[in-house]
């Protein structure tokens, strides 16, 4: 193939980076779609080391993504943040299987067992129209010694037993741990992740209304995408050398709601709701005293 023909062929292809920007999906999802056959395997042309992907196929997927997002945005009530049943958890494990190693998966029965100790430990984001789980988050208070081992990387999430979970309780601030947060890989992954995070924040505010105050949220990032998400949400990397068994791919973070100078939008939103709730409580107490007198 002559150089001119090679350059002409290039006009019909995207590099991986160009395709990812066109589709607006994470790099990991791009390669997942290739594995699933939704994007053709890349081709190598002379004088080029990078694989190339046909524009016509990528552009079709970009149009499909736009159509899906338009439908979801026009019917936001389709996606519900709820406590899962067993079938939902089976779907959630299937999503985990797309992303994580098989040995790290926690089966539905063990996940169900957590509810005896922390009834609200797991929530899923579900498309009610298709009855499809599109994401999920597991966040809960834990035994203090278990939480400490997690953030010191002495154990990982697969070693947390159901009895290590603790319920949300009113009356005193609690620390929580994010066992996992995941969105279904695909064209709408970023949209699902965004809706999942907004719903989780709304849930924390609901807990405030019940008198449950969260002091700190801990998590451990296990991938580069996880690192970026934690940082984007305002989590702070915990100091330390992290010479535990899992140090090569695990980084512990904390989101401290008692940090008054934080620039995190998540912290600012939560603190604002907390202040407003406290003002309402004091106003109600004042009105109650007046009515008694």
pLDDT average, residue stretch 200-207: 89
pLDDT of 1: 45
Is it the case that residue 47 has pLDDT exceeding 70? no
Q: What is the CA radius of gyration of the chain?
A: 23
Q: pLDDT digit string (tens) for 2-44? A: 445 555 556 788 888 999 999 999 888 898 898 888 888 877 6
pLDDT of 112: 94
At 187 the three-state DSSP class reads coil
The CA-based angle 32-223-104, given to 5 degrees, is 80
What residues form DSSP beta bridges with 221?
A: 251
- pTM attached to this predicted model: 0.83
Is it the case that residue 87 has pLDDT exceeding 80? yes
Q: How confident is the model at residue 247 (pLDDT cuts 50, 70, 90)?
A: very low
Is it the case that residue 198 has pLDDT exceeding 70? yes
Mean pLDDT of the chain: 86
Q: What percent of the chain has pLDDT over 70?
A: 87
What residues form DSSP beta bridges with 13?
A: 54
Query: CA-CA distance, 63 to 31, in Å (whole number)?
Result: 19
Q: pLDDT digit string (tens) for 108-167? A: 999 999 999 999 999 999 999 999 999 999 999 999 999 999 999 999 888 999 999 999
pLDDT of 99: 81
pLDDT of 232: 84
3-state SS, 42-91, equals CECCCCCCCCEEEHHHHHHHHHHHHHHHHHHHHCHHHEEEECCCHHHHHH
Q: How confident is the model at residue 173 (pLDDT cuts 50, 70, 90)?
A: very high
């Amino acid at each position: 193939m002559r150089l001119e023909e090679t350059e002409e062929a290039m006009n019909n292809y995207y590099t991986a980076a160009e395709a990812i920007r066109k589709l607006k999906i994470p790099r990991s999802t791009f390669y997942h779609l290739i594995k699933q056959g939704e994007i053709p395997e890349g081709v190598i042309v002379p004088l080029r080391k990078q694989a190339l992907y046909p524009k016509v196929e990528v552009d079709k997927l970009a149009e499909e993504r736009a159509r899906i997002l338009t439908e979801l945005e026009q019917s936001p009530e389709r996606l519900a943040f709820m406590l899962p049943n067993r079938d939902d958890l089976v779907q959630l494990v299937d999503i985990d299987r797309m992303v994580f190693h098989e040995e790290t998966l926690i089966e539905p029965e063990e996940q169900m067992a957590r509810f005896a100790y922390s009834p609200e430990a797991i929530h899923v984001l579900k498309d009610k129209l298709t009855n499809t789980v599109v994401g999920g988050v597991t966040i809960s208070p834990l035994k203090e010694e278990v939480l400490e081992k997690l953030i010191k990387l002495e154990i990982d999430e697969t070693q947390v037993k159901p009895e290590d979970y603790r319920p949300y309780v009113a009356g005193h601030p609690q620390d929580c741990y994010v066992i996992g947060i995941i969105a279904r890989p695909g064209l709408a992954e970023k949209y699902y992740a965004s809706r999942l995070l907004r719903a989780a924040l709304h849930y924390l505010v609901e807990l405030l209304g019940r008198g449950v105050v969260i002091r700190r949220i801990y998590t451990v990032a296990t991938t580069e995408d996880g690192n970026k998400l934690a940082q984007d949400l305002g989590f702070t990397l915990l100091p330390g050398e992290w010479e535990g068994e899992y140090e090569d791919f695990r980084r512990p973070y904390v989101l401290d709601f008692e940090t008054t100078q934080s620039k995190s939008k998540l912290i600012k939103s939560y603190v604002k709701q907390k202040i407003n709730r406290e003002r309402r409580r004091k106003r109600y107490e004042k009105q109650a005293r007046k009515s008694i007198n």
